[in-house]
Structure 1
Amino acid sequence: MKTAAITGTIACIAFAAAAVAQSNLDASPVQPDYVAVTQALDKNGKPVDPTVTITHHDGMFLSETLRDGTKSIGFGPASNDPVLRWSRQADGQITFLELLLRDRKPDAAKTETPQPLAEVSTVAGERCRWRETASKSPSPGTFIAREQTCVTDDGIVIETRLLAPNDVPIYHTRLTSLDRRAIAPAEIDPPSEILTAEFWLRPIRSHNADPSQPDFDITLETVSGSTIRLLRHYPWHYREQRDGGGSVSIKIWNRLEAQGISYRQAGGHRRLTAARPTDDGSASFKFDETTGKISLGKAEAVLGESCEWFDLMPGVQDAGNRECLTRDGLPLKLDISGMNLALPYTATSFRRRAVALSEMRLPAEAFSLDEWGLPAVR
């Protein structure tokens, strides 16, 4: 396990620890419904933020982590894949959502299997047995990080610690209270309103039209057949990219409000991110990758229309975005680079026409929990 792979929030750690308990421990009985409160600890065992509340019902977990007034919530099955996450501000606003379905391929060299330890503990009145999981055959330049979990006889994780080679905890969580009780589905179901595009794309305020930024509809292609479709209805933008391998990426965003939805599907990997700004206007997610606009001093004509080349990501070392823009901002050529790849796109059609926000659409299944392997909201 690489060092970078073991960093992350305590919220994700606590959720994963609870979720993998049943899937990894085949000898354990079916977990009962319960509510567990766990506390993060520093390397000396002293309590630190955050406190995480984990609610389990019928194989589904809800974790709630409060930090700096923001509550981060995770929801998913015992397999921990896929998972739905969202954030709720102190005033109750939900400003961020993520759905993630990973394309995991079996790798025998990296399979993790739990091994029982002789250690037994009693935490908050609950007796548990320790198990340890370590990655097999680490790659050169990496180290084995050992994850240990203390699990009750009915499969509930009581304590979790990830240990560096010197046995110093990289993270450590411990139960503070446990309530085995019947959990109603409504206690763990996500809010139904956040599972719609309308919730995230509802205009926050009205904006006057900008004559210098007319509506447009543009299709661009590469020589290999990949396509990008761009729509603009100021200040809203739509970008749909389809590649020869079947991958699709769609982004709808408001450049003035840090608001929008990003959706990507490639093979078995699927990810949806949605965000709205907080009351102070701060962004929960950056949709626009533009970092500046510097003229490259070059011009050309595409489909009879003249355009000038600009660097829209100046100063960025590992990625680039250069566009040939008309006077009113229509991109007729794109030169996108990153991951040692360069993708030139050229417009095959463009129109300045009225564009409705309703034309900027996601696939029908984008917010369908069934498509993400999650149960429907009850």
Structure 2
Amino acid sequence: MYRLMVFSVITIAAGSAHASGVPFFASPDVPDYSAKMIVRDTYNDKGGRQRVVQHHNGWTHVEEDRRGETNIYYGHFFKNVVLRASRKNGEISSIEVRQVEPSQDYNGIMEVKETDDVEAIGGEQCRWREIVRKMNKDGSGPVWLTCLTGDGIEVATKVLFSSREVMSETRLVELQRGPVPGAAVRPSMQLFEAGTWLKPLPSYDDYTPNAGDFEAKLVSHRSEERLLRHYPWWLRQRDGEDGSILITVWNELEDQGLQYSASKGERRFEAIRSSSNPGPFSKRFDMVSGMVDMKKQDRLLGEDCAWYNRTPDSADAGLMQCLTSDGIPLIDEHWSGWGDGEIFKIVALTRRPVSMDEMQPPRDYLEPAAWGFIRPQY
């Protein structure tokens, strides 16, 4: 009877929230601790990589070395918020902050199954539990396992293929229970400031502008866009009739920029900037990969434009634009092989000076407290 009662409590607590990248918690009363762990991927890592975890009052800070850079996580399991960052050569070059309602979370926890397997790991006795996520509720995907001590500290994890072969595992090396300062689990507040990510890079200090500033408004059957250019910077703000918001700011020379999005049950903030390695990132905020002339023209608002395929190598989704001679899109056609395309047509255009202050999301969207990260009190 006791075992059934424990299982019920764990299921309710875990099912209410999940934030990937931070340890699993079965209850919110886990003590402060610091831990060193080793992560091993069956087919990639030789010798494993180090994972360091600090926990204080529900908040965790995790650092994990991986292929010459450090992956950093700050988050709160029960608030379902996590900040991921990449650091290389001492510089944080990218972040992603995500907060999502459990019902909307593809990685969300549906159920936690307690097992009879007890193991001693790093000098700590723990009991294994199986985590059933929404993505694999039919049992066809990977299997997640976590091993918790009696006071709720995660000291080991496993991810198994559906064949039950180990895909990756994490095991405790050293654990210290004791006070952890709040500052240790709090990210730098500068990471939430647009200016941190939009600061000019040395590589284009002396660029010569070759495209004029402008402001435009485009509309589709379900969204409205505000488009600004202050070369080499662009801002696109899309407001959907469903209340969704998507704000993208990018630098067309450096693949540098940020994006804020909000929809029902989920918010996300992403940003990239690297002074030591300003080359292309895997994510392009402008969503373009080329410029192929489609040999056709159009005319809107008294302006002529020519059509270009901006994603010529894409097979399942892409972007076609009708651009003026100075590069202003009069028509944006977002197409999708899944039938969820959207065509934006310009309804207002003003060529005018645009300042960098205009090229930023509203401050309250990025305010750390809005995500649950409290600024330090001095």
User: TM-score scaled by structure 1?
Assistant: 0.85
Task: Tell me whether 143-152 or 182-191 shows the greater mean CA deviation.
Answer: 143-152
Identify the match of residue 280 of structure 1 among 277, 287, 290.
277
In 2 relative to 1, CA 146–208 (structure 1 residues): closer, same or farther, beyond 3 Å? Answer: closer
1:174 equivalent to 2:171? Answer: yes
Tell me by how many angstroms 1:39 deviates. 0.7
Counterpart-to-counterpart distance in 2, 1:237 and 1:310: 19
Aligned match of 1:369: 368
8 A Cα contact 2:104 2:265, kept in partner: no
Counterpart residue type for residue 371 of structure 2: W
In 2 relative to 1, CA 113–125 (structure 1 residues): closer, same or farther, beyond 3 Å? Answer: same
8 A Cα contact 1:324 1:331, kept in partner: yes
1:22 equivalent to 2:26? Answer: yes
Secondary structure of the residue that 1:112 maps to in structure 2? strand
Aligned match of 1:240: 237
Counterpart-to-counterpart distance in 2, 1:38 and 1:181: 17
Tell me by how many angstroms 1:96 deviates. 0.5
Counterpart-to-counterpart distance in 2, 1:137 and 1:171: 18
Tell me by how many angstroms 1:235 deviates. 0.5
Q: CA RMSD of the aligned region, Å? A: 2.5
Instruction: Describe the superposition over 1:206-242 as per-residue Cα deviations: whole angstroms up to 9, x where unpaired.
Output: 243334x1111111112x3521111111111111111
8 A Cα contact 1:277 1:283, kept in partner: no
Aligned match of 2:180: 183
1:94 equivalent to 2:98? Answer: no
Counterpart-to-counterpart distance in 2, 1:281 and 1:312: 22
Aligned match of 1:263: 260
In 2 relative to 1, CA 341–137 (structure 1 residues): closer, same or farther, beyond 3 Å? Answer: closer
Counterpart-to-counterpart distance in 2, 1:31 and 1:231: 48
Aligned match of 1:9: none
Identify the match of residue 117 of structure 2 among 116, 119, 127.
119
Task: Tell me whether 47-56 or 69-78 shows the greater mean CA deviation.
Answer: 47-56
Instruction: Describe the superposition over 1:164-186 as per-residue Cα deviations: whole angstroms up to 9, x where unpaired.
Output: 34331122111011011211111
Instruction: Describe the superposition over 1:24-51 as per-residue Cα deviations: whole angstroms up to 9, x where unpaired.
Output: xxxxx8211111111113559x973321
Aligned match of 1:162: 159
Secondary structure of the residue that 1:21 maps to in structure 2? coil
Tell me by how many angstroms 1:54 deviates. 0.6
Secondary structure of the residue that 1:53 maps to in structure 2? strand
In 2 relative to 1, CA 41–359 (structure 1 residues): closer, same or farther, beyond 3 Å? Answer: closer
Aligned match of 1:33: 32
Aligned match of 2:146: 149
- In structure 2, list runs of 5 or more residues that go unmatched: 1-18
- In structure 1, list runs of 5 or more residues that go unmatched: 1-14, 24-28
Number of residue pairs aligned between Structure 1 and Structure 2: 352
Aligned match of 1:6: none
Tell me by how many angstroms 1:187 deviates. 1.5
Counterpart residue type for residue 50 of structure 2: T
Aligned match of 1:3: none
User: TM-score scaled by structure 2?
Assistant: 0.85
8 A Cα contact 2:73 2:85, kept in partner: yes
Tell me by how many angstroms 1:157 deviates. 1.1
Percent of matched pairs sharing the same residue: 31
8 A Cα contact 1:36 1:178, kept in partner: yes
Aligned match of 1:351: 350
In 2 relative to 1, CA 96–139 (structure 1 residues): closer, same or farther, beyond 3 Å? Answer: closer
1:252 equivalent to 2:243? Answer: no
1:342 equivalent to 2:346? Answer: no
Counterpart residue type for residue 230 of structure 1: L
In 2 relative to 1, CA 195–165 (structure 1 residues): closer, same or farther, beyond 3 Å? Answer: closer
Tell me by how many angstroms 1:369 deviates. 2.3
8 A Cα contact 1:36 1:175, kept in partner: yes
In 2 relative to 1, CA 112–368 (structure 1 residues): closer, same or farther, beyond 3 Å? Answer: same
Secondary structure of the residue that 1:358 maps to in structure 2? helix
In 2 relative to 1, CA 189–311 (structure 1 residues): closer, same or farther, beyond 3 Å? Answer: same
Secondary structure of the residue that 1:199 maps to in structure 2? helix
Instruction: Describe the superposition over 1:333-362 as per-residue Cα deviations: whole angstroms up to 9, x where unpaired.
Output: 111112422222211111221111111120
Counterpart residue type for residue 353 of structure 1: R
Counterpart-to-counterpart distance in 1, 2:265 and 2:65: 32
Aligned match of 1:26: none
Counterpart-to-counterpart distance in 2, 1:196 and 1:139: 38
Counterpart-to-counterpart distance in 1, 2:183 and 2:145: 32
Aligned match of 2:65: 66
Tell me by how many angstroms 1:256 deviates. 1.1
Secondary structure of the residue that 1:341 maps to in structure 2? coil
8 A Cα contact 1:17 1:157, kept in partner: no
In 2 relative to 1, CA 243–65 (structure 1 residues): closer, same or farther, beyond 3 Å? Answer: same
Task: Tell me whether 279-288 or 194-203 shows the greater mean CA deviation.
Answer: 279-288
Task: Tell me whether 361-370 or 130-139 shows the greater mean CA deviation.
Answer: 130-139
In 2 relative to 1, CA 42–252 (structure 1 residues): closer, same or farther, beyond 3 Å? Answer: closer
8 A Cα contact 1:81 1:101, kept in partner: yes
Tell me by how many angstroms 1:288 deviates. 2.4
Counterpart residue type for residue 326 of structure 1: T
Instruction: Describe the superposition over 1:40-79 as per-residue Cα deviations: whole angstroms up to 9, x where unpaired.
Output: 13559x9733211010001111110112231111011122
Tell me by how many angstroms 1:120 deviates. 1.9
Counterpart-to-counterpart distance in 1, 2:214 and 2:201: 22
Aligned match of 2:214: 216
Counterpart-to-counterpart distance in 2, 1:344 and 1:18: 39
Secondary structure of the residue that 1:346 maps to in structure 2? strand
Runs (4+) of structure 1 exceeding 4 A deviation are 15-18, 135-140
